[in-house]
Structure 1
Amino acid sequence: MADIKLTDGDDLYEQSTADRDAVAWNTIWGQKGNDIIKLYQGVAMGGQGNDRIEQLPTTESWRTVGVAYWDSPTGVVVDLASGIAQDGWGTVDTLIGNFVDIHGTGFADTFIGNALNNFFWCNGGADTVNGGDGVDTVALSWFEPAPGQPWRSPTFDELDIQVSSDGTVATVRPKFGIGFSYTLTNVEKITWWDSQSNREYTYWLADLITPDTLARQGLLAADANRWNASGPVGTAVNVSYSFVEVAPASGPGATGFRPFSPAERQVVRDLLAQTAALTQITFVEVSETGGSTGQMRFGVSQQAATKGLAYLPFQAGAGEAAGDVWMDLESMLALAPGTEGYQALLHEVGHALGLRHPRNTEGGDAWATQLRLQDDRTALTVMSSSLSPDGLFRADWGPLDVLALRYLYGTRTVGSGDTVYTLGSSQANAQTALVDDGGTDTLDASAYVTGVSLNLASGALSSIGMSSQGFVGVDNLGLVATTVIENAIGSSFDDVLLGNASDNRIQGGPGNDWIDGGAGTDTAVFEGKRSDYELSNAFSKLYVKSRDGNSGFDTLISIERLQFSDLTLTLAATGLGSDGRFSVDEDAALQGQLPDPAGVERSTVTYRLVGNPAHGTATVSSTGALQYTPTSNYWGWDWVAFEVVAATGANQYLAFVQVLPINDAAPVAQAVQMSVEAATTLTATLPVATDADGDAVVYSLGEDPSHGVASVSSSGRLTYTPTLGFVGTDVFSYGISDGLGGSNTYSITVTVLAGPNVPPVGAGGSATGTEDQSLAGNLPTAVDPNGDTLTYAKATNPSHGTVVVNANGTYTYTPAANYFGSDSFTFTVSDPSGASNTYTQSLTITPVVDTIMGGAGADTLTGTTGDDLLQGLAGDDRLTLGAGNDTLDGGSGFDIAYVGGSTAANFNLKTGIGTLGSATLSLSGIEAIRGSSSADTFTGLDGTDKLPGEVFRGAGGNDTINGGTGIDRAEYSGKFSDYQVTRKAGTMEVTVSHKNNGADGTDSLNSIELLVFQDRVVGFGQRAEDVARVAFVLWNPAIIQVPELFSAGLSFYLNEYGYSLNDLCKVALIFRPEKTAQELVATLLANTPGTTKTAAQLYAIMDANGGQSSQTGWAAAIEAMALDAATTQQIELMGVANGLEATMTWGGQTLFGALVGG
């Protein structure tokens, strides 16, 4: 950096690119003359003359050009926004470029910034700075503290800084001496270099707005709007108040008026009493009788858009309404402190006492000074209309409200003693302010179940508790700026605890807490002993870790003392270190290096021992070498206290040593011998073991016994039970251990004695055999407790056969002929002394399948009570079920499964499985079913390859029948008129009910295409009517010749495959004998008496549709006749009432040949 001075003439200086690239940051002195100075970077001082200072273009924003006026004889006016500067010489400079740095003269300068982030070096004097847009900074100058004293930079405490409530205007000057006085507008920061601490300080001016400034500039109305306006601010005053009893004729109280209730009046009285306790206001209640009223009046009315309204004291134009409070009806629904209604009332009372809105939020607001948006919140003042993010409302005046009211009306002292403020539910469920004017006080948040943030700084906000709605409080506790709280107690969770300038005592409690003591001599308090915690220093912070792993890890800043339950440590600013952790074996020596100091080289400190450890000896060298020897045979934790000593202070720490146990000797016991009688249990206590180290000894079972079971408890209690029938010697072992690797094993010898004779012990058994076959087996093995040889014998005979029992326990059982089912016999087991027990052997005899086979003709086969195989083979057979698990194979004929009886049947021809009571049936080759008299369920086969399908006939009862996808029929014994037939519209679900509680019951059918009655066949499907029409004109009256495929199945072709009526007619021709058109016309006319159609018309229809010799023409004639009105008259349409579409009446003719009766 160099000074380059130009001549006194008109000079042109342009910085070279070489200087630019070399980053030459020079100062160019223009001196006299009208100079032109062009720079990439550096400082330009035009001097006397109309100079032009220009910043050369660059893409690198860090290159800046400063404009200086150090040599000017008087103050300058520099406007960076317009690029014009009055240089103090009477001449004007032109500034071209984006200038941000301006250097003043030391006189009374005026600076106006531009939209960039400007930096103003005022250099002393009475300067005025308007920063404009951007984030602008003013650098403070040196000052002379007193005449004759050296000039120096100020400290923060030596500055008088006043910032407006909105942060836009500030004045900065020393509190004493001379040097500078700055008036700042739209300047965001101030900065200076403190030569005493050798560091730079920077402050945001908005952070320096005082609570008093916020209260006075942001909340107070005009000076005339206070009840003591006749005297100075702060004068004590009496204010009367009353409750409106009669609705006014006009004004805000006229609509929906009602007076305050007694309970509501008490809320007002309490509110005013709390206000009087803080200030020098004395409130006097008066009654509105005889025309007298209070200065403040309270009433309730219906308001359209406000929660309430009030008039300021002596408000212009308010007249007698000045100071009146009118609350909206809805606001009065809940008036407890901390509710929205109470906050509204408090807000309106604030107006009646002279407070206004902090910002211009309503139509009548026009205050020149406002609070910033971030300060306009109910956490600070009830006069705000902003909602709190935690959903809480005020329960009292806000911190700024208290300051404003005390400024207006004076102060009454509150809480002058030593007070512990226990924070609980009331503070968690509302926004509150704490006012305390003296004493040593404590905030106690230990009752909360969530972490808290406590800030003890006067005027600060804290976040505490969880509301009953489950929201964590946000800035819901405020300290009035005049309140000083010295101590804080946190919760059992993770807290942030911030101190103030006092000597604070802060207790974090369990949890991972952040504790910042701030200024003063601050103490962090811990519940445990010093040895319960480990200390460490890093990153300018002290960390305190609970050694139990559960009580938290605290981070400490600006803490000067640590108080434990057994001692208090005073921390020095230097000599910072950490606790250490080491381990060593029992009876061994430890050599280690203590932890390094924090933030300095190890060579700059020394270490020294502080006292002796409790369980050994130790030395500490000046370099931090630790030697420790534990007491003989001691193991466990020990610690060594040491200091880290720096030039100006020392701090004490602990080296924690874990002495690990070693095993000096294994425990000792002895072998044991015992006896016990057979079939009894031995319990005993094993010999007491000894351990040379005094270690606790644990017993356990070693090798298992060979002839019994044993267990050994950890305390040496033995339990042994010999195997039943064993007599003799059993040997096993037990073990002992000290838990540290030392163990021994010893034998246990038990002699099992025979004892008195005991009957043998056995059990009953079971076996399974087959019908008509002998069963041989072994009876269950019995045991004699005395070890004797046992003999088996039959006790009782079986009920359905014979049995032979041999002495060795084998037996042979022969069932009665053709018997199957359950049987049993008893047997005895005896010892040589005659002692015995009797047991039962259970038998299950399974049946064999009896095969009954028919011949080639029409057979009738009837099953038995067993499991039968009925094979019909060829011919039309009738297979009658028995009572067993039968197999029915109908063969190739039209075969009928006959159930009969009263046991309900469930047959599924699709799966081939049926049930009859408890029997399971196998079904194949069955075309018809005759049911029982109970409620049966039948399911048919699928597939058109089984046409004409199955025939189902229930013999009574409420049957369920599913025919599957073939063309299936259900038969009934009566006439059609004997039944009620209904169908679920659009489905194949049909209900057939025998009227008058007939024997056939009520059947539920699905996928059954034909219902066969004695006098009628009902064919139904989605298109059954079309089928009926075609059948009628082609076959009537010889309907019995119509194949079932046509009479019912074709309706499903129409449905499933989309056949048209014309397609149906073509299919019908396949079954007709007519060879010529004339034969067909004759058939159609003969079968349709009463038709208006003529032969000529039918021939014309054929001609129009492919000719009289074409299938298409014939089908067209059939279709025309089927749709003829005469055909409709001949077909009985049952209508949609019962869900069926069409039936055809055949008379009493038998329709399907010989069917199964019933």
Structure 2
Amino acid sequence: VVITAAQLLAGVTDIDGPAATITALSVASGGGTLVQNSPGVWTYTPAANYAGPVAFSYTASDGSASTSATATLAVAAVNDAPVLEAALADQSVAEEGVVNFTIPAGAFSDVDGNALTLSTSALPAWLSFDAATRTFSGTAPADFNGFIDVTVTASDGALSASDTFRLTVTPVNDAPVVSGPVTLPGIQEDSAGVVITAAQLLGNASDVDSTLTVTGLTVPAAQGTLVSNGGGIWVFTPAANFSGAAVFSYSVSDGTAPPVATTASLDVMAVNDGPNGVIVVGSPLATDEIAAVGTVVGKVSGTSLDAGVTFTYSFANNPNNIFAIASLTGLITVNDGILIDFEQAASHSVTVRATDNNNLSFDQILTITVNDINPENVTGDIRDNILVGGASADTLSGGFGNDTLIGGGGNDTIAGGIGNDTLFGDAGDDAIDGGDGNDTIFGGDGIDTVEGGIGNDIINLGNGNDVASGGDGNDIISGEAGDDIIMGGSGQDVLIGGAGNDRIYGGLGDDSIYGGIGNDIAIGDDGND
């Protein structure tokens, strides 16, 4: 403020002298500074932030005499703006970290002593400011990093002061996130190798701040093999005949955080491989010789690498249809027991065909064992049978065909039946009856009893003291060695005693009798012998 001499001399009078002047001016109280600008002119500046009375002391002089006086002025109070006492420090927090810091109490001041109110610039939703406690609080959001500049303003209601600090959210590594197993495109059973890529395996994985890789990819050996071609490419080849879910185990890694274990699956779709074998279920395949029709031989079952397969069964080779097989169960039974003869074949080979429900089949040759039965008691049928006895006393009956009956060892009973039969007694004391038909009979060794029966028979008694009767028909009977009894019977017979003391009876008809070696007795009987 400007103070002049005229203002100061307004109350000074001098009755006899020249005009007075101010020779000295100073601040007596209240502070502040005085600067004389020119004679009789001063500038007073109050002390900073001072409000109140200010007293000045001065001297008035007329050149001869002087007097001291005082002057006063009032410095009216005005509002002072708040002041930033200390700059606000920058702050830092890790990504997803907790923010909690307080503005120092003396950061702002007001010389007037006015209460200050703090406020901030706009804050993100995750950050709040409590003006009463001067505290910032919040949690940095997931996957956010960077900085925000925050301005804090202190106001006394009229004037204000501000400062800006930077809040930095520093990045941290986020672990990979796997939402679930990966499903890879399916392939067929026994397919060639299929390519699997890291991109496929990472289909359900994510990472907000890193590039992901696949590590430790494996698959069970029973399901297939993996070959790495590098660069995140593998070739998977399913195991032979494997079908179902191939499960791959691996980890997802960002190179920093712990790897996350996960899986992927690939459906190996089954294809029909067809049957791959026929096996015997339970006991080995076997039957007694000359077994009855329907006798169980055994059971077979088809095998396949495929699951849920059903089979039907048939014979691809079954000589003479000796056996039968149940199409649904694989049960093998006897179909023609007369053809099952241990002495002719101790086993039979058949080819069983197993056909699956996709009409694929597998043929398996199987052996059926024939059990020897002693003694045998066999009767033929209308066919031309071949019946062979064993070492015991067998009973062989030919039936209605042109049969071949072979007694073998033992005292056998052999009956040709109807038909032109060939009968062999072989060793043993056999009883042989040719029956109806033109039969050929060989007694063999032993004491045999032979009856030719009806028909033109040829009888060779063989060694032994045999008895033979030709029966009806033109028969030829040869005694061979031994003391034989030969009876021609009806018809024009040829009777030959052979070696030995034979007795030969021609019987009815014009017979020819030859005694042979030995003391024979020949009786022609009726006819021209």
> Considering the TM-score relative to the shorter chain, is it more than 0.5?
no
More strand by share: 2
TM-score normalised to the size of structure 2? 0.30
Greater Cα radius of gyration, structure 1 or 2:
2
More helix by share: 1
TM-score normalised to the size of structure 1? 0.16
User: RCO higher in 1 or 2 (8 Å CA, sep ≥ 6)?
Assistant: 2
